[in-house]
Amino acid sequence: MALPKINTPTYELELPSTGETLKYRPFLVKEQKMLLMAQETGEDNDIARAMGDLVHTCTFGKTDPVNSPVFDIEYLFLRIRGKSVGENVTLNVTCPDDNETKVSVKVNLEDISINMLDDHTNEIQLLDNCKIIFRYPILSDMSGITAGGDIQSVFKLMEACVQEIHHGDDVYYRADMSDKDITDFIDQLTGDQFEKISDFFNSMPKLRHVIKVTNPKTKKKSEVVLEGLQSFLV
């Protein structure tokens, strides 16, 4: 006799980048296995691919994990994870007043949102007649990139995200530019112009949540800002 099929609940959310309403479901044991196997390899590419595949499957094929912005994928993954194994997580947070005492804090994943600044734009005006249009990083761009990552990998990320360069009436598209073309273009920028590019990446939409902690040793109350998917994974 065939064993019964268990119905899986579905939920809805708004995709941060577009506001589109998207249906999703919790991940199943077979999908969690694939993610755990990828994590065991320790390879960034394997983990990113497994996470993307899981998000694609759990959104009923409505998400493109290859071309979607990283912040969309991370937000979806966090929501799926919450509905799959529990929305409350306990995080160990370092108290900022002494930078050494750790405290446990419970966080509801439903409270985590994407922080999107009103004045953020992907069009960077370098001169009156020159601007760069960037796309947001995708999962494959982030391989090997960590907070405080080495300069070479940071530059590589910037160059990968160049979409168009406008100079006067001329428009240069990424498909028509070599990696060396982009490197040479960025290398010729002034410090002020490069700072504008850095501001784009620093202010990109990202998972962000502020929690309040009290240091049990000093009794000092502080706020801790958690950013990025890794901050909420245990």
Cα angle 49-231-220, degrees, rounded to a multiple of 5: 175
Task: List the domain boundaries for the chain.
Answer: 11-85, 88-115+206-232, 123-202
pLDDT of residue 35: 87
Distance CA 186, CA 159 (A): 8
With both helix axes pointing from N to C terminus, report the angle between 151-160 and 191-202 in degrees, rounded to the nearest 10. 80
pTM of the model: 0.88
With CA atoms as reference, report the closest residue to 73 among 125, 123, 136, 124.
136
pLDDT at residue 231 in the model: 86
| Side chain identity at residue 121, one-letter code | T
**Is 62:22 a contact under the CB 8 Å cutoff?**
yes
* Model pLDDT, residue 147: 52
Per-residue CA distances from 37 to 83, 141, 142, 149 (Å): 21, 22, 20, 25
Tell me the pLDDT tens digit for each residue of 47-100.
888 999 999 999 999 999 999 999 999 999 999 999 998 899 999 999 999 999
Helices first, then strands: H and E counts in the chain = 6, 11
- Give the pLDDT confidence score for residue 6 in this predicted structure: 83
Q: Span 146-165, mean pLDDT?
A: 82
pLDDT digits (tens, 9 = 90+) for 196-228: 999 999 999 999 999 999 999 999 999 999 998
Which of the residue ranges 27-31, 41-45, 76-80 would you say has the lowest mean pLDDT?
Answer: 41-45
3-state secondary structure of 27: coil
